[in-house]
Structure 1
Amino acid sequence: MSTTEDTRPFVAPCRQLDTTAPLRWLQLGWQDFRQAPLLSVLYGALFMLISWLIVAWAWQVGSFTMVIVLFAAFIFMGPALAMGLYSVSCQLDRGRKPQIGFCLQQGKKRLGNQMIFAFALLIVFLVWARSATAINIFLPMGTEPTAVEWLMFLGVGSLVGAVFAMIIFCAGVFSLPMMMDRDVDAITAMLTSFNAVLKNKPAMLLWAGVLLASVVVGFLTLFVAFLVTLPVIGYASWRGYRETIISDEWAQDPDTVSGGS
């Protein structure tokens, strides 16, 4: 049930989550994967291909810093790419057979909000990239870096990157699924996401660990694991949004409502 803009809260309220809630989301995400295996693998293959292209380009350029920057860009832009995965779970929720055409249609309808979200990510990424460049200047890596130089470079770089990654995590974990589900502007969705993360720190810390683990597994398997892990993560993110955010004040898209709920 939706209300007028004048009576809506500044952010959507959220439920209090138990610490292990993300494990439940993963289970539900795996169920969604099993219901739409072909479409899921197609999305996973897209992420895998992008990862391979990034590595190939960075290898050709011959810059270790470029690898870090490009993968950071990929991780930051990943939530926008995952809109299609949210649409698959949304279609399953409505009793539809997931179709890629519907995913593209929904993505197009939310293009304006996606652009605002992407612009916010871009600003954060540019600041992060400048910070990465500064680290490389103040902690230069020689042709044969010592163990101490490696530890200093990776330690400082990881700490700085973690700050920016946490900002993106808080802003994006629930905002894009909410934009897929409801007629809500990007700013309200991002503030709602921040609010929900801050009010559910233990559960969201576990979820952040799950996301990090999925990326590490992807690296260790030369990104082949992305065929399965990233679609499951995308579906689990949708399930997490549905369990966490109380978005009844904002109207649903009639196209997603039709076909059952």
Structure 2
Amino acid sequence: MSQEIEQTAENAIEKSGIARVIPCKTLDKFACFRWIALAINDFKQAKLISFTYGFIFTILPLSIYFLVYATEWHLVIFPAMVCFMLIGPFLAAGLYDVAWQFEKQHKPSLRHSLKAMSRNAVNEWGFGLFLMILMIFWLRVASLIHALYPEYLEFTFANAWPFLALGTIVGAGFTVLVFFISAFTQPILLERKVDLATAVLTSMNAVWRNKVPMFVWSCVILFSVFLGFVTFFAAFLVIMPILGYASWHGYIATIETKRTRKFE
């Protein structure tokens, strides 16, 4: 019965009629650790470029934090996060380009990586806007949940736990949705001249067909982000470039091509 449900869900993605879906491979449960090993090697070979991107990924959340602290105006988080959602895909594309150049046995450069977004600019920026819209929607839902909390009640765990639980469940749902949408979309748009719908549906299909290995990968990402926060973003200096490179290697290992890549 479960197999029939899974097959139906797969067909729903592949036969949606919205766009074509690029086939994917079946991954090993712990495939992501091979991607990380390859990413660490990329980091070692391009330390200057990696630290440059890592510094940017570190300074952005730090800037948001200090801006909120200095102004005591928490609403500044919203426009700051909007900017980050637009800049994030641009930075990620640069990291993917570095890993891609290594795989083609070319010497990567910061200048070349910064031009990565121009290969499929309309769809790349469209993806950034799409993520931004999802983030705005989530912030509005979070505000609504917060508004449901009665003002006359003292804020204690006993009083707040239903709202905290609801916020956690809804937040987890948005996180899963964004992961399905974004796991492979950006690398697809970088390497292939395809439309945004094709890239998004291909990513969703690949994650669905590899639920266990992608769950392991998502846990690695969550732990890495948690590590970044507990170190007051300092760990992002190394973590973010490695996650970027690993995401590219995950894309290469997962999404199929009609012709074998010369650098595989």
Calculate the TM-score normalised by the size of structure 2.
Answer: 0.83
Aligned match of 1:81:
91
Deviations 1:47-101 (A, max 9, x none): 1100101111222454668759966984796344311100110111111111011
1:214 to 214, 217, 224: 224
Aligned match of 1:145:
155
Q: Unpaired runs of 5+ in structure 2?
A: 1-18
CA contact (8 A) 1:141 1:149 kept: no
Q: Does residue 36 of structure 1 match 2:30?
A: no
Which amino acid counterpart does residue 166 of structure 2 have in structure 1? V
Aligned match of 2:114:
104
Which amino acid counterpart does residue 22 of structure 1 have in structure 2? C
CA contact (8 A) 1:47 1:226 kept: yes
2:252 to 236, 242, 248: 242
Closer, same or farther in 2 for the Cα pair 1:149/1:93, shift >3 Å?
Answer: farther
**Whole-angstrom CA distance in 1 between matches of 2:151 and 2:54:** 34
SS in structure 2 opposite 1:110? Answer: helix
**Whole-angstrom CA distance in 2 between matches of 1:244 and 1:68:** 34
**Whole-angstrom CA distance in 2 between matches of 1:80 and 1:156:** 33
Q: Does residue 184 of structure 1 match 2:194?
A: yes
**Whole-angstrom CA distance in 1 between matches of 2:93 and 2:197:** 17
CA contact (8 A) 1:28 1:239 kept: yes
SS in structure 1 opposite 2:115? Answer: helix
**Whole-angstrom CA distance in 2 between matches of 1:166 and 1:73:** 22
Aligned match of 1:200:
210
Aligned match of 2:166:
156
Give the CA deviation at 1:185: 1.7
Aligned match of 1:58:
68
Closer, same or farther in 2 for the Cα pair 1:170/1:76, shift >3 Å?
Answer: farther
Q: Unpaired runs of 5+ in structure 1?
A: 1-8
Give the CA deviation at 1:181: 1.4
1:14 to 11, 14, 24: 24
| RMSD (CA atoms) | 2.9
CA contact (8 A) 1:80 1:176 kept: no
Closer, same or farther in 2 for the Cα pair 1:201/1:108, shift >3 Å?
Answer: same
* Higher mean C-alpha deviation, range 167-176 or range 199-208: 167-176
* Higher mean C-alpha deviation, range 144-153 or range 83-92: 144-153
SS in structure 1 opposite 2:23? Answer: coil
Aligned match of 1:123:
133
**Whole-angstrom CA distance in 1 between matches of 2:79 and 2:110:** 30
**Whole-angstrom CA distance in 2 between matches of 1:77 and 1:152:** 35
Give the CA deviation at 1:247: 2.9
CA contact (8 A) 2:36 2:242 kept: yes
* Higher mean C-alpha deviation, range 111-120 or range 39-48: 111-120
2:145 to 135, 140, 156: 135
Give the CA deviation at 1:147: 2.7
Which amino acid counterpart does residue 26 of structure 1 have in structure 2? I
* Higher mean C-alpha deviation, range 150-159 or range 183-192: 150-159
Q: Does residue 229 of structure 1 match 2:264?
A: no
Identity of aligned residues (%): 37
Closer, same or farther in 2 for the Cα pair 1:159/1:72, shift >3 Å?
Answer: farther
CA contact (8 A) 2:119 2:190 kept: no
CA contact (8 A) 2:86 2:129 kept: no
